[in-house]
Amino acid sequence: MVKKTIFILAGLAILYSGFLSRGFAQDAQSIWTIEVAGASGLKNTDWGPNGKSDPFVEVYVYPGGKKAGKTSVKNNTLNPVWNYEIKTSYPLGQKPIAFAFVIWDKDDLRDRFLGVARLDTPVPGVEYSLNLHRRMRLAQPEIPGTFSMPGTLRVKITKAAPLVKVPDITGKTDAEAKNILRSAGLEPGPGSVIVANKNKAGKVFSQRPLAG
C-alpha cells in the first residue's frame, strides 16, 4: 500500500508539472463522462495454474489530478470488461485536458500494479485503445516505449452540453420572459402558464442554448 501511494503521488507530480506549462483550456462548465470499456492481455500477477489477476481501474483528471472514480473489480481475468461510466464536472473557464488510468490487481494484502495509460486532449465520442506503461510520464498512447507493460485499455470520453443557469421568470409576461431568456443566451421554446392561485401565475418555458 505504501509503494502504491508513493507511485501515485510521484506520477501526479510529473503530470501536473507538465500541464501547468501548457495552461488551462477554456470552456463553459460541463459534465464529462469517462467510459472505461475494458482491457485485454493484462499481466498475470497471481500464482497457480488457474489463478489470474483481479483488475480494476482508477481514473484521474487533469489539470488538478483529481481522482474521478474507479471501476469495479473483475475477478480472475486478464481480459476484463467493465463498460463502466464515471462522471466528472469542471468549473467555469476550465476543462480536462488529460486523463490517467491506473490499473491494479486487487489483493487482500496489497494491490499489485498492472500498468498506467494516459490520454491527452481526447476527441469526445471516440473510443481509444491505450498501451500500458510502468511510468506515468511515458504513458503516451501511441508509443509503447522501453517501459511498456502487457495489455491495452479501451476508453471513451464524452461531454454533455454546458450547464446553464436558467434565470427566474416567475410572474413575467411572455415578452418579458423571452427577453430575459435571450439575454441569458437561451432560446425560449413553446410556453405555458401554471396558475398557483387566483392572483399569481408563473410562466414555464422549455429552454435550449441559442444556435451558434
| Predicted pLDDT at 46 | 82
Query: Which tens digit of pLDDT belongs to each residue from 118-140?
Result: 888 888 888 999 999 887 654 44
CA distances from 149 to 45, 74, 158, 162, 186 (A): 13, 19, 27, 37, 49
Residue with cell 516505449: 145
Verdict on whether the full-model pTM lies above 0.75: no
Stretch 46-66: mean pLDDT? 85
CATH architecture of 2-159: Sandwich (2.60)
Centre a 10 Å sphere on the Cβ of residue 11 and count the other Cβ atoms it contains. Answer: 20
Residue 11 pLDDT > 60: no
Domain regions of the chain by residue span: 2-159, 174-209
- Above pLDDT 70, what percent of the chain? 57
